Structures are given as structure tokens and as C-alpha cells.
Structure 1
Amino acid sequence: MNTEHSKPPVLLIHGMWATSAVMQEVKAAFEEKGYAVEALTLPFHQPKSTYDKAGKARLARASLQDYVDFIVARIRALEVAPILVGHSMGALLAQLVAARVACHRLVLLSSAAPGGINGWSWSMIRTLGRNLLLFPLWRRVTQLRAANIRYGVANSQSAATQQQILELATYESGMATFQIGVGGLFRGGFSRVDTDAVRCPVLVIGGSDDRITPFKIQQRIAAMYGDRAQLIKIPGACHWTVAGSYFPKIRTVMFRWLDA
């Protein structure tokens, strides 16, 4: 728990195909620094083995709006504005949330592309794999397989880390997958971030070897915020920036920025 009352609380937001379990290394890092931390699990997300048909149906139609409403409600229950730390889709959600409620700071790890930034690339398509063949996508659930993880999510991680990611992976909403994928092709849509409404400082961290949200996306996100943002490239790092081989460097960068 936080014994230094000057420090704002921290909310962690996981990415696609995940639960709060993937954020435990990030949570421990903040707790060691004296922060009070809550790792959120987004609505309808649960361990893959526990889903029944009805649970998968509920998740399939969950939207980015549902996720944002959930996080906003959690922030409004707090006494002070929090630091939001999001990974991948969670980093996109953090931006959408910060446009609606006051936040102390944003830490964006390998952020998914907001609306208006084209996130499509051959490496992203290959990472999503057969999920792109599902129809109608917005009524189905998507999932990661071992090949997707090895190629596009954790391509510069050890085999042990890749296996751990596979074991923690769950289903994701086809609706949310569709909104993120299509959102990059249009300036409108729910994945578009009103950057003028985001008033807090923003740290954008990306890996040089990220294949699903390449560093050029992180550059464009940072550019949206101008002087409010700091952009950091982690050489050799892939999309998996919440644990694994490159997290010690990422941890150092995060706390150096937070302490500045």
C-alpha cells in the first residue's frame, strides 16, 4: 500500500487477450516505489478456461466504449487523479479515458493506434492471423495462438516468456478488435482521441522491434501531444513491454520520467 501520501494512485490497464495477471511485474515495480496500485481487469475478461458460451458471447460484443466507461467509473471513485499505465489496447484506452476525466500522468507502453493513425502493416496482419477471417468479427471473439505470440507479440523474448504469455492469454472482443482495426482508417469513430482534452503529461514508450504496433505508431502518438509528450525507444524490444527481457530498462525509463 502507499505510505507516501504525496504520490497519486496508479491504475494499470492491460491490453488485448489479457487480464490483470499480465500486469503483475509492472504492479510490483510501482509498489516497490511506494505507490498504491490497482491492476484492472476489463469487463468480461477472465481466464480462458473459465468461459462458457454465454461468457464468450458477452465478451464478443463488448466495445471500447464499455471498457472506457468501466475505467472512468473507477477513477471517479478515487479521491485524486491517478497515473494511468496502459499496454497496447490498454494504452489506447488510457488516452480515451484521460480525454474524459482528469489524470495525473499517462504512461503508454506499445500503444495501439488511435483513430486517424493507420496501424495496418503486413506484420500486424500476420500477427492477427486467422482472427481476420472471422465473420462477422464484431460478434465473435478473437484469440492468440503460439505462432502469433512468437512472431508478433514477443518476438524478441525468450521461449519461456513466450510460453508464459500463451498460458495467460484469453479471448478478446471481436467488436473491440474491429473498432481498433477500422479506427485507424478514419478520423472519426470511437477510437479517436481528443488530444486537446488530455491535459496531463504523457510518456510514450515503444520497442524498435515491435511488429504489431511498430515504433512509427508511437512516434505519431507522441506527435499528437506535442510538448506534453516524451517519446522513448527501447532498442531490441518487441511488443511485450510489461515484463520479460526489456522490462528492467522500461522500468528505469518510467520512474526517471515520473521522478523528474
Structure 2
Amino acid sequence: MAATRTPVVFIHGLWLHATSWQPWAELFAARGYEPHTPGWPGEPGTVEAARAQPDAVAGIGIDDVTAHYTGIIRALDTPPVLIGHSFGGLFAQKLLAAGLGRAGVAIDPAQIKGVKPLPFAQLRSGFPVLGNPANRNRSVALTRSQFRYGFGNAIPADESDRLFDTWTIPSPGRPLFEAAFANFSKNSPAAVDTANPTRGPLLIVSGGKDHTVPDVVTRAAHKLYHGSPAVTDLRQFPDRGHSLTLDSGWTEVAESVLEWLTTRNVGPAQ
């Protein structure tokens, strides 16, 4: 009897719908994995529905999303590979550190507690939410120009606009506040057990031109793992921005992740 395929759970970040992972899911399925692309709690099933129901995710925080994905993962027959982008990368790290995955990939991950650099580009990218304290309990949508700065700065403007029109949705403001003030909170939900010696291997991926999560922030997160004997690798794409998982160059990143999984003996079961 054939072995069960290795599951992969894809976790998106703020302002992108879960269906933005569909090209990755198709590629991973073709390579022998079992992909899953669940949305955040309360997230409607389509981009159009999510735009029409922005309050469906208002007030949702890091702990809510973590608990949501924990339930999804525990319902699987075998521990999955966890692949997250932006805030999804933060969740991938939290879930992996909690022993809920066999391996994790955090792509341009939102800053976890302990990361200290705070570049101007990151502040500007977060200002549409952080600029108004009331947004903590609201959902917030980006404008086309805000998306261009935070996501699409390393690609042509017309491509950035197409991605905005295709994939963007309103997202809760609470996770951004929780991450931004994590270092001032004793029990921050953005904390990750970076010292866990028994977790599976972790790959952190960085875009060198990312404004939302600048490379210096990603490298600082990588350094937090130096005290653990568990595998923590870093791969950098110098000319890529925050849109690297969904723009026209996404296959380069996806193929690099697939190669890393094979190298770390986390390939698909056939």
C-alpha cells in the first residue's frame, strides 16, 4: 500500500487571501506532497466575499490564528510541513516550535519577540494600520499605492497593480499591533520558543528589497535561533520584495524551498 503523502500547510499573512497559495499548492501536489491552504479564522472563502465582509476578521489576534491552525494541523493524519509568508511565517515558527510540524519555512516572516531592528521602510509599511490605535479592533484594507510600497516595490507597477486587484483583502489590525509592541510585553503572543532543541528543521527566507519585512529584520530573527542545536537555515533573494511568493518570480522561491526540503530529508512520501 502506498504511504500517505506528506502534508503541507500553507499559511498566508496580512492582506492576502488563502487562495493566493494556489500556484504553490499545485506545484507541491505535482511533486508528491498533499497541500492544504486554509484561511485565517473567519476568513470568507473567496477574495470577493472577503472584500464584501471586512468585519468577519476584525479583532482577530495572533493567539486566535495560532489556535485555529493548531486545530487544523491536529486533524491531519501526520505532522505537516509548515510554509508561511509574512505573518504566516510568524505562525509557522510558533507552530513548529510547539512541535506541530515536521519542518517549517518562514518567508519574509513578521517580526517575532526579540527582534530589535525597526527600519523606516517597515514603519512606513505598517503605518496604514499602526497610524490609528483604533485599528487594533478593526479590519484594514490597503490602497493600491500602499500595496505597491509594502509588497510590489521590486516589480513593475502594472504587475503590482494586478496582484493587488487579484489577491488583496481587508485584514485584522490586531496582529500588527501585537508584533510591533512584542518587546514591551512580558507574555507577548508574538513570542516563539527559539531555543527548542527538538523541533524540526526551519528555513527562513528573506527578500533583500522587502519593505514590509526588511532583510535586516529577517536576519535578526535568524540570529535568535543560534542558541538551539536544531537546524535553522537562511536563504536570501537579494532582488526580491514582499511579493516574492505570488509575483512572476514565485517559482524560483518555491523551487528553492522544495530543494531545501529534500536536502533536509523532508521530501514527500510516495
Fold match by TM threshold 0.5: yes
In the other structure, the counterpart of 1:250 is 253
1:251 Cα offset (Å)? 2.1
1:130-186 alpha-carbon deviations (Å, 9 max, x no partner): 333323222222221111121121111233431233122111112222112212555
Pair 1:195-2:198 in alignment: no
Local SS of the residue matching 2:60: coil
User: Which runs of 5 or more structure 2 residues have no equivalent in the other structure?
Assistant: 264-270
Name 1:240's counterpart in structure 2. 243
Percent identity of paired positions between Structure 1 and Structure 2: 22
**TM-score when normalising by structure 2:** 0.87
Q: Does the C-alpha gap of structure 1 residues 77 and 181 become closer, same or farther in structure 2, counting only changes over 3 Å?
A: same
- Counterpart CA distance in 1 for 2:138 and 2:242 is 24
Tell me what 2:139 maps to.
141
Rounded Cα–Cα distance in structure 1 between residues aligned with 2:161 and 2:74: 37
Q: Are the structure 2 counterparts of residues 51 and 202 from structure 1 closer, same or farther at C-alpha, using a change threshold of 3 Å?
A: closer
Q: Which moved more, 1:79-88 or 1:15-24?
A: 15-24
Supply the RMSD in Å over aligned alpha carbons. Answer: 2.3
Q: Which moved more, 1:44-53 or 1:152-161?
A: 44-53
Task: Please tell me whether residue 213 in structure 1 is matched to residue 216 in structure 2.
Answer: no
Q: In structure 1, what is the equivalent of residue 266 of structure 2?
A: none
Q: CA 1:160–1:193 in structure 2 vs 1: closer, same or farther (change >3 Å)?
A: same
SS in 1 for 2:205: strand
1:89 paired residue number:
87
Secondary structure of the residue aligned to 2:195 is helix
Q: Which of 257, 262, 266 does residue 259 from structure 1 map onto?
A: 262
CA distance in 2, matches of 1:111, 1:184: 16
- Per the normalisation by structure 1, the TM-score is 0.90
Closer, same or farther in 2 for the Cα pair 1:185/1:156, shift >3 Å? Answer: farther
Unaligned regions of 5+ residues in structure 1, if any?
none
Which one-letter code corresponds to 2:126 in the other structure?
A: L
Q: Which moved more, 1:68-77 or 1:3-12?
A: 3-12
In the comparison of the two structures, how many residue pairs are matched? 257
Distance 1:164 1:70 in 2: 30
Partner of 1:121: 119
| 1:103 matched residue in structure 2 | 101
Q: Which residues in structure 2 correspond to 1:1-260 (within 5 Å)?
A: 5=3, 7-46=5-44, 47=46, 49-50=48-49, 55-118=53-116, 120-167=118-165, 168-186=167-185, 188-197=187-196, 199-226=199-226, 228-260=231-263
The AA in structure 2 aligned to 1:214 is P
Closer, same or farther: CA 142–121 of 1 in aligned 2, 3 Å: farther
- Distance in 2 between the 1:180 and 1:36 partners? 31
What is the deviation of 1:14?
Answer: 0.5
Report the Cα offset of residue 58 of structure 1: 4.5
**How many Å separate the matches in 2 of 1:50 and 1:148?**
22
- Tell me the distance in 2 between the aligned counterparts of 1:202 and 1:58: 32
- Give a deviation string over 1:193-245, Cα, whole Å, max 9, x none: 01234611001111111111011122122222235111011120001121223
Corresponding letter in the other structure for 1:111:
P
Q: What are the Cα deviations for residues 45-104 of structure 1, in whole angstroms up to 9, with x where unaligned?
A: 235653599x54452211111101110001111111100000000010111122323311
Name the stretch that deviates more: 21-30 or 177-186.
Answer: 177-186
Q: Which moved more, 1:62-71 or 1:147-156?
A: 147-156
Q: Which stretch of the first structure deviates more once superposed, 11-20 or 249-258?
A: 249-258
CA distance in 2: counterparts of 1:230 and 1:138, whole angstroms? 33
